Amino acid sequence: MSTPIEQRRILRTAIPGPASQALHARKLAAVSSGVSTGLPAYIERAAGGILVDADGNQLIDFGSGIAVTSVGNAAPKVVERVSAQVAELTHTCFMVNPYEEYVAVCEKLNELTPGDHPKRTALFNSGAEAVENAVKVARHYTGKDGIVAFDHAYHGRTNLTLAMTAKNMPYKHKFGPFASELYRVPMAYPYRWPGGPQHCADEAFDYIIDQIHAQIGEENTAAVIIEPIQGEGGFVVPPRGFLPALAQWCRDNNILFIADEVQSGFCRTGDWFACDDEGVVPDLVTTAKGIAGGMPLSGLTGRADIMDTIHPGGLGGTYGGNPVACAAALGAIETMEELDLCSRAREIEAILRADLEKLAAIYPQVGEIRGRGAMIAMELVTDRETKEPAAALTAAINKACHAQGLVTLTCGTLGNVFRFLPPLVISDELLHEGMSILADAFAASV
Ligand code: PLZ
């Protein structure tokens, strides 16, 4: 076991320090320029809410490696199970020789995902791969081709999922042509809906289903896929009632409702899944990120009658549901249950919101604070009336936080959303310290 990491921010050098800079020089010479790094402080160890870099700096983690280490980095139960597993069995390929850990993760996903109907699961390696398989299954089951995705959506970087992802730079630029029969409709985005949130609540659903009817046709639409709270696109939360209405409309029209819970799942929003908030029960759910405490694993869980229409051999892959990744998932899920991390996500929301409201009272650049649980964001604008996106300010605050050893992330199609995704095991003290660094960064950047 390595020595425990004190849950305290420590700055020993400028960020990034000399050791990180030397590593970064090697990175530039060895790694494709296409793979960029938000904050080139090279991390050696991490736990709880702290990342320790190559210069011995201790950074506060407000990103969880993009919503992955919800149970904390190197979480004890994950370490224990992974260590035991890796010493016993590292790989067979589940399609060649099966093993219990794969089945146990599927059982857990069937139990925890929304709805108490019979379900089946298949495991993969990444969020994008789970989404790809959701599309395959939806087309196979319905016998239809059309897939509807939303403005501001993010579903991955493979060719099919790029067709579903909305943002050009940096994801899609010059990487086309993209897969066909993917259609995009407006997102129910209250802050930016013409006329504002009340209009969005009143109009978005009707407008969107009219678009699907007119441009694709229900009889050509296999599935509608939506992130119940959008991630990369800006933590957009649709108005209450929108998701239940959309799910019902899909049911009425023999269209599958797919929830992409890759970012919003596993306690992140204060529920096991973001769909739980309004009791929405999707036909298919994709999961990844928080599922396995940092090991690569993803799942596609769905109604048994849908998932079991696929012919034997139709779903799979060499590494999908690798035993070590499955052991990590079992350890991560056990941690979420034992520490009641859904409740902790709600406590984190209360702390973050209180400090963000203070910023909003001082700075007119805070256009909106939104999100749920430990998936909270503020959208920044140059002017509350025009809502002109303040992308440069967002980037400047982010940079100022990084310089003070606070690892923060931005998002949004317009690059003007500042997001908070701390590990759910972070201490109150680190949350408060991080928010005070943010306040200083804001003051220095406006
Ligand atoms: N669906 C909702 O958020 C991944 C992307 C980071 P993978 N989001 C982080 C980046 O810039 O590549 C994501 C998501 C939702 C699918 C995915 C894709 O998951 O595991 O990155 O393939």
Count the helices and strands in the chain (H runs, E runs). Answer: 13, 15
Give the distance from CA 218 to its chain's centroid. Answer: 29
Question: How remote is the CA of residue 371 from the centroid of ligand 1, in Å?
Answer: 18
CATH value at residue 414: 3.90.1150.10
Whether residue 2 is contained in a domain is answered as no
210-241 pLDDT tens trace: 999 999 999 999 999 999 999 999 999 999 99
Please tell me the residue having the least CA distance from ligand 1 atom 19: 127
> Within this chain, do residues 168 and 273 fall inside the same structural domain, yes or no?
yes
> Within this chain, do residues 81 and 97 fall inside the same structural domain, yes or no?
yes
Atom from ligand 1 closest to the CA of residue 263: 3
56: nearest Cα among 107, 105, 18, 102 = 18
> Within this chain, do residues 164 and 271 fall inside the same structural domain, yes or no?
yes
> Within this chain, do residues 329 and 441 fall inside the same structural domain, yes or no?
no
> Within this chain, do residues 206 and 281 fall inside the same structural domain, yes or no?
yes
Q: Quick check: CB of 225 below 6 Å from ligand 1? A: no
Q: Quick check: CB of 299 below 6 Å from ligand 1? A: no
> Within this chain, do residues 260 and 332 fall inside the same structural domain, yes or no?
yes
CATH value at residue 325: 3.40.640.10
> Within this chain, do residues 66 and 121 fall inside the same structural domain, yes or no?
no
CA pair distance 38, 192, nearest whole angstrom: 27
Q: Quick check: CB of 239 below 6 Å from ligand 1? A: no
Q: Which two tokens stand for residue 215?
A: 């441009």
CA pair distance 127, 108, nearest whole angstrom: 18
Whether residue 8 is contained in a domain is answered as no
| Domain limit, last residue, from 315, 339, 363 | 339
Whether residue 98 is contained in a domain is answered as yes
Whether residue 5 is contained in a domain is answered as no
Q: Quick check: CB of 412 below 6 Å from ligand 1? A: no
376: nearest Cα among 407, 345, 344 = 345
> Within this chain, do residues 31 and 81 fall inside the same structural domain, yes or no?
no
Q: Quick check: CB of 104 below 6 Å from ligand 1? A: no
Instruction: Tell me what pLDDT residue 2 has.
Output: 66
> Within this chain, do residues 335 and 435 fall inside the same structural domain, yes or no?
no
Whether residue 175 is contained in a domain is answered as yes
Whether residue 146 is contained in a domain is answered as yes
> Within this chain, do residues 83 and 185 fall inside the same structural domain, yes or no?
yes
| Domain limit, last residue, from 278, 312, 339 | 339
Domain count within the chain = 2
Question: How remote is the CA of residue 6 from the centroid of ligand 1, in Å?
Answer: 30
Whether residue 198 is contained in a domain is answered as yes
Q: Which two tokens stand for residue 230?
A: 């959008």
DSSP state of 307: H
151-194 pLDDT tens trace: 999 999 999 999 999 999 999 999 999 999 999 999 999 999 99
302-352 pLDDT tens trace: 999 999 999 999 999 999 999 999 999 999 999 999 999 999 999 999 999
Whether residue 174 is contained in a domain is answered as yes
| Domain limit, last residue, from 339, 361, 389 | 339
Question: How remote is the CA of residue 126 from the centroid of ligand 1, in Å?
Answer: 8
Per-residue pLDDT band at 3 (split at 50, 70, 90): confident
Q: Quick check: CB of 65 below 6 Å from ligand 1? A: no
Query: How high does pLDDT run on average in the chain?
Result: 98
Section 21-30 average pLDDT = 98
Contacting residues for 30 by C-beta, under 8 A, at least 6 apart: none
Q: Does the pLDDT of residue 22 top 70, yes or no?
A: yes
Quote the domain boundaries for residue 253: 77-339
> Within this chain, do residues 238 and 372 fall inside the same structural domain, yes or no?
no
Q: Is the pTM of this model over 0.95?
A: yes
> Within this chain, do residues 416 and 349 fall inside the same structural domain, yes or no?
yes
Per-residue pLDDT band at 1 (split at 50, 70, 90): low
